[in-house]
Amino acid sequence: MRKIYILLLLVLPVIGNGQTSDWKRYRYEIIANLGVSNFLGDLGGANQIGTHYFKDLEFSQTRFAGGIGLRYKFTQRLAMRWNFNYGTVAGSDALTLDPARENRNLSFRSRIYELSGNFEAAFLKDKGGHRYKLHNIIGDKGYEIYSYVFIGLAFFHYNPQAMYVDGKYYDLQPLGTEGEGIAAGVPLYSLWQFSIPIGIGFKYSFDKQWGIGLEYGIRKTFTDYIDDVSTNYYNPAAIAQANGPIAAALSNRTNELGPFGHPSWTLPGEQRGQPAYKDSYMFLMINVNYKIKRKKQNNFFQT
């Protein structure tokens, strides 16, 4: 009996350590994302005066998105993740029944390339099974539930484009559709911007290394030009003189509506967008996760 007690005193701490610190051997995690992207801004939206809230989201403009990432766990509840994400956002005034938006008749698409670093905080702590090795008896029951919120900083590139009646897409930023680069003191807006990713995620690992998850995140940006719409209509003659007739046509497309349009609503100086609110874009991703196993340095009672 005394020998059994001595054996238990030696073994139990090893088993306990395997349960509480085994996660440290899997701090790094490779992530592959596949999902969709969407947009909240001036163009398109619900059948109402434009807002920058979710009730103005146009689901038909949802587009494909994807990305890769790397997670590093500081603790079981805190982690850092680096990501590269790609997605397309789009909007069209033709999809809304709001009279002012319909009359504006603008549309766009923009491809988003994003690099980000996010801090994650788990509100549902990891739960794992036991792993131990004693003589020739091996036990391994591994799973994990990881629910978290995140916030970070992202650097992204975008490039708003619109399809003209000739069926071709044109980059809108160089055309100065609101007088950028034409009017004195109004420079072209930058296609490189920062954003703040905020979101929530859930991950389930079905063994020690592989798992699957779902994550939603919105990006609060510091630009109102992802859709090339922000302020007021500019003189189309001045735009045509500076950048050509197609630039002038893409700055004001009410005339394409013919007798159904109201040209008096889109004269130079009239409201074209709402600069008080910045644009936002979002990703909804399904992800596959693979944990990189680190070799354990202790060679006595390996776990």
Q: What is the torsion angle, in degrees rounded to the nearest 10, for the CA atoms of residue 106, residue 51, residue 45 and residue 157?
A: 70
Bigger pLDDT: 18 or 26? 26
Q: What distance in Å separates the CA atoms of residue 190 and residue 205, rounded to the nearest whole number?
A: 41
pLDDT band at residue 142 using 50, 70 and 90 as cut-offs: low
Q: Residue by residue, what is the 3-state secondary structure of 213-277?
A: EEEEEEEEECCCCCCCCCCECCCHHHHHHHHCHHHHHHHCCHHHHHHHCCHHHHCCCCECCCCCC
Bigger pLDDT: 298 or 224? 224
Total-model pTM: 0.83
Q: What distance in Å separates the CA atoms of residue 120 and residue 69, rounded to the nearest whole number?
A: 13
Please, what sign has the CA dihedral across residues 68, 162, 234, 261?
A: negative
Q: For 185, phi and psi rounded to 5 degrees? A: 75, 10
Domain map of the chain by residue range?
25-292
Are residues 50 and 238 in contact, defined by beta-carbon separation less than 8 angstroms?
Answer: no
Question: For the structural domain made of 25-292, what CATH number should be given?
Answer: 2.40.160.20
Among 29-33, 58-62, 127-131, 179-183, the range scoring the smallest mean pLDDT is: 127-131
266, pLDDT greater than 90: yes
- C-alpha distances (whole Å) from 56 to each of 45, 87, 157, 280 are 5, 20, 24, 12
Q: What distance in Å separates the CA atoms of residue 6 and residue 154, rounded to the nearest whole number?
A: 55
126, pLDDT greater than 70: no
Average pLDDT of the chain to the nearest whole number: 85
Rg over CA atoms, the chain = 27
| CA-closest candidate to residue 243, choices 173, 195, 295 | 173
| AA identity, residue 273 | G
